[in-house]
Amino acid sequence: MSSAAVPHPRTHTEPAPRSGRRSVAAALLLGAAGAALVLLAAGRTWSKATADVAQGTLPQQASGQDVTALPGALAIVGLAALVAVFAVRRAGRLLVAALLALSGAGVVAAALLGVHDTTALEEKAGKVNGLTRAAVDHVSHTGWPWAAAAGGVLLFLAGLLALRYGRHWPAMSGRYERDGAPRPRRARTAPDPDRPEELWKALDRGEDPTGG
């Protein structure tokens, strides 16, 4: 009697490509959503107040860009780093992934510092009164700084994914496959003698269409 075939045990290296593909999708989604949320929040109103003028009171408002330009700038840096992750390899990929994570952390810090900031409102009130800065009253803040901070968290998470799984991600190169092996070049076929246009193309390339 022949012995029953023993199934080969599964290796532990199989889940790596699958986890790599999942992490790529997650990082792209988190990074793109985070950058878009930060840029959206940076253009919205973060705080409102009233300033005393000669005619009475004048409403003032400050956008995220008025309060601090850092979140919007760091969001663009993070988005560029997210794309650059796929253009570099090895140590370069780790550095770009770290830049992506740091960009997200910087957005969070800058947004939280601007939650209760009134400097931009005071500067706008001062311009109305011909001063450098002026006092403002009835100050209120919106939720857009918190939205910017949330976008920064998403960018930070995308950076962590790139640091953890980036070595499994493909690179933007037409000469290499996902495993880094060079793609084999296709053999150039001889021109069809029945097609004159192929003969002319071969002559333009400096080839002998007769194969001699």
Angle CA(160)–CA(164)–CA(168) in degrees, nearest 5?
A: 130
CB atoms within 10 A of CB 171: 16
- Residue 61: per-residue pLDDT: 85
User: Burial of 144 by CB count in 10 Å (0-12 exposed, 13-18 middle, 19+ buried)?
Assistant: buried
- pTM for this structure? 0.68
**C-alpha–C-alpha distance, residues 31 and 14, integer Å:** 27
**C-alpha–C-alpha distance, residues 156 and 152, integer Å:** 6
- Residue 13: per-residue pLDDT: 41
- Residue 88: per-residue pLDDT: 82
Using the Cα atoms of residue 111, residue 112, residue 115 and residue 116 in order, give the sign of their dihedral.
negative
Q: From first to last of the 212 residues of the chain, give the pLDDT tens digit.
A: 444 554 544 444 444 456 667 888 888 999 999 999 999 999 999 988 887 776 777 788 888 998 999 999 999 999 999 988 888 888 888 999 999 999 999 999 999 999 988 888 888 777 766 666 667 778 888 999 999 999 999 999 999 999 988 787 777 654 444 445 555 556 556 555 556 566 666 666 766 655 55
